[in-house]
Structure 1
Amino acid sequence: MPHRDGPRMNPRSTDVTVYGETSLHVVTSARPAADVGFGTVELAIGGPAAVVAAQLAALGNTPTLVSQVGVDPAGDFLRTALETAGVDCRFVRSAGRTGRIVAGVADGQVELAADSAADALIGPENLPLPTTGLVYVTGFPALVPVIKELSSNGHRMVVDVGYIPFLSQPDRLAAHITDIADAVDTAVVSGASLSATVRESIQELCLAEGASTVLTTLADHGVMVTTANGTEHLPAVPADVVDPLCAGDAFVAGFMSRRAAGDDVISAAAYAQYVAAAKVQMFGSLPRLSDVEELRK
Structure 2
Amino acid sequence: MSVFTFGETMVALRGEGQLKLGGTMAVSVAGAESNVAIGLARLGHPVHWVGAVGADEAGELVLRTLRAEGVGVTGTTRDGAAPTGLLLFEPRLPGVTRVHYYRAGSAGSRIAADDVERAFAAFLEAGTGAGTATSGDAHTGTGTDSAARVLHLTGITPALSPTARTAAERAMELAAEHDVLISLDVNFRSRLWSTDEASAVMRDWAPRADVLIASDDELPLCLPAGSPDDPARQAGALLEAGAGEVVVKLGAAGATAYTLQGELHAPARTVPVVDPVGAGDAFVAGYLSALLDGSDTAGRLDRAVTTGAFAVAAAGDWEGAPTRTELGLLGAAPGTVVR
TM-score by length of 1: 0.84
Given that 1:123 and 1:146 are in contact with CA atoms closer than 8 Å, whether structure 2 keeps it comes out as no
Q: Deviations over 1:53-100 (max 9, x none)?
A: 111112222211121222211111111111011111112221121111
Gaps of 5+ in 2: 129-148, 159-164, 221-227, 333-339
The corresponding residue for 1:11 is: none
Q: What are the within-5 Å matches in structure 2 for residues 122-271 of structure 1?
A: 122-125=111-114, 126-129=117-120, 130-131=123-124, 132=128, 133-140=149-156, 141=158, 142=165, 143-165=168-190, 169=195, 172-191=197-216, 197=229, 199-200=231-232, 202-271=234-303
C-alpha deviation, 1:276, in angstroms: 0.8
Question: Offset of 1:20 from its aligned partner?
Answer: 1.9
Change (3 A) 1:193 1:214: closer
Corresponding residue for 1:102? 88
Which stretch shifts more, 101-110 or 248-257? 101-110
- Following TM superposition, by how much is the alpha carbon of 1:192 offset from its aligned partner in structure 2, in angstroms? 5.5
The one-letter code matched in structure 2 to 1:51 is N
Q: Are the aligned partners of 2:282 and 2:304 in contact in 1 as well (CA < 8 Å)?
A: yes
Partner Cα separation in structure 2 for residue 110 and residue 177 of structure 1: 27
Change (3 A) 1:204 1:163: farther
Q: Deviations over 1:189-225 (max 9, x none)?
A: 0226779926345423421221111111111111110
The Cα shift of 1:184 comes to 1.0
Matches of 1:280 and 1:36 in 2, distance apart? 25
User: How much identity, in percent, do the aligned residues show?
Assistant: 25
Let me know the Cα RMSD of the aligned residues.
2.5
Q: What is the one-letter code of the residue matched to 2:23? A: G
Q: Deviations over 1:205-263 (max 9, x none)?
A: 42122111111111111111011123222111101000111110111111111111111
What is residue 41 of structure 2 aligned with on the other side? 57
What secondary structure sits across from 2:248 in the alignment? strand
* Kept after mapping to 2: 8 A contact 1:216/1:223: yes
Deviates more, 1:225-234 or 1:286-295: 286-295
Query: Which structure is larger by alpha-carbon Rg, 1 or 2?
Result: 2
Q: Which amino acid aligns with 1:24?
A: V
AA partner of residue 29 (structure 2): I
Is 2:7–2:108's contact at 8 Å kept on the other side of the alignment? no
Instruction: Select the residue among 283, 288, 291 that pairs with 2:322.
Output: 288
Name the CA shift for 1:294/1:257 in 2 (closer, same or farther; >3 Å). Answer: same
Cα distance change, pair 287–174 in 1 and its aligned pair in 2 (3 A): closer
The total of aligned residue pairs comes to 280
> Which residue in the other structure is 2:142 paired with?
none
Per the alignment, do residues 197 and 43 of structure 1 end up closer, same or farther by CA in structure 2, a change over 3 Å counting?
A: same
CA distance in 2, matches of 1:167, 1:230: 33
Structure 1: runs of 5+ lacking an equivalent: 1-13
When structure 1 is superposed on structure 2, of 125-134 and 219-228 the one drifting more is 125-134
Residue 49 of structure 1: CA displacement? 0.8
Q: Name the CA distance, whole Å, in 2 between partners of 1:237 and 1:168.
A: 32
Distance 1:148 1:47 in 2: 23
* 2:68 paired with 1:84: yes
SS of 2:264's equivalent in the other structure is strand
Does the CA-based 8 Å contact 1:178-1:206 persist in structure 2?
no
More displaced stretch, 89-98 vs 275-284: 89-98
8 A Cα contact 1:52 1:253, kept in partner: yes
Task: Return the TM-score normalized by structure 2.
Answer: 0.75
Instruction: Provide the rounded CA distance (Å) in 1 between the counterparts of 2:54 and 2:301.
Output: 34
For 2:330, the aligned partner's letter is L
Shift of the 36–127 alpha-carbon distance from structure 1 to 2, 3 Å rule, reads farther
